[in-house]
């Protein structure tokens, strides 16, 4: 039986172009050689990668925010998240920054909750979702929100309530869904949350400097 583990593999590309270049992402078109020898064109979004934070407080509430997402024409409940804007940036540093900027919160305990590819059929975005515990408010001025974030709502919601809402089809944000269900799965596994990977665990999808 094949091991149940994702493995790196790269099929041969005979031609490539970038028909669109945006501020943060681009679109790549590549002609890929299939196993039968045929060549087919594949378009995908090139993405710098992201981090997200499932911030869990002492009352078992999760820090969530509600933000407008224009492509899907919805206001979605989400967990704090952001782009890896700097190539090679340590994802933990980025996660600490996003938790501060979006929720004005800091954490004493950080673990890697899970790593995912959001839409591997059409985008190379990789996301590392952290679990943050030991929460406390950050002193000083709050980060100045702009654009979609200027309309953002902030709340703390019981973890079990979020799980019920996910399974009821009321919540759809990828990182929130994966994060909430991963925390519940980790709790049920041997060692519980303390058995999660350390915050500086290697991330082959987006290698970083220690």
| Active site (catalytic) residues | 149
- Whole-angstrom distance, CA of residue 78 vs CA of residue 62: 10
- Whole-angstrom distance, CA of residue 180 vs CA of residue 78: 11
- Whole-angstrom distance, CA of residue 161 vs CA of residue 150: 26
Alpha-carbon distances of 30 from 21, 46, 81, rounded to whole Å:
15, 12, 30
Where would I find the H helices in the chain?
91-103, 159-167, 174-188
DSSP 163-199: HHHHHTT----HHHHHHHHHHHHHHHSTTGGGGSEET
Longest dimension (CA), the chain: 61
Edge-to-edge, what's the strand order for the sheet holding 39-46? 13-21, 26-33, 39-46
- Whole-angstrom distance, CA of residue 180 vs CA of residue 64: 11
């Amino acid at each position: 039986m094949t091991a149940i583990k994702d493995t790196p593999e790269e099929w041969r590309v005979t031609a490539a172009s970038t028909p669109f270049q945006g501020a943060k992402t681009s679109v790549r078109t590549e002609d890929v050689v299939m196993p039968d020898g045929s060549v087919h064109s594949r378009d995908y979004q090139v993405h710098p990668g992201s981090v997200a934070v499932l911030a869990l407080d002492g009352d078992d509430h999760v820090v969530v925010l509600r933000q407008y997402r224009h492509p899907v024409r919805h206001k979605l409940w989400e967990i704090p998240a952001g782009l890896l804007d700097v190539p090679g940036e340590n994802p933990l540093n980025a996660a600490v920054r996003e938790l501060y900027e979006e929720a004005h919160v800091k954490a004493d305990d950080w673990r890697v909750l899970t790593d995912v590819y959001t839409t591997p059929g059409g985008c190379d975005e990789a996301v590392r979702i952290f679990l943050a515990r030991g929460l406390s408010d950050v002193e000083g001025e709050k980060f100045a929100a702009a654009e979609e974030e200027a309309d953002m709502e902030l709340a703390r919601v019981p973890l079990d309530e979020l799980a019920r809402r996910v399974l009821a089809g009321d919540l759809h944000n990828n990182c929130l869904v994966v994060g909430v269900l991963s925390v519940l799965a980790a709790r049920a596994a041997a060692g519980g949350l303390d058995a999660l990977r350390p915050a500086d665990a290697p991330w082959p999808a987006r290698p970083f400097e220690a």
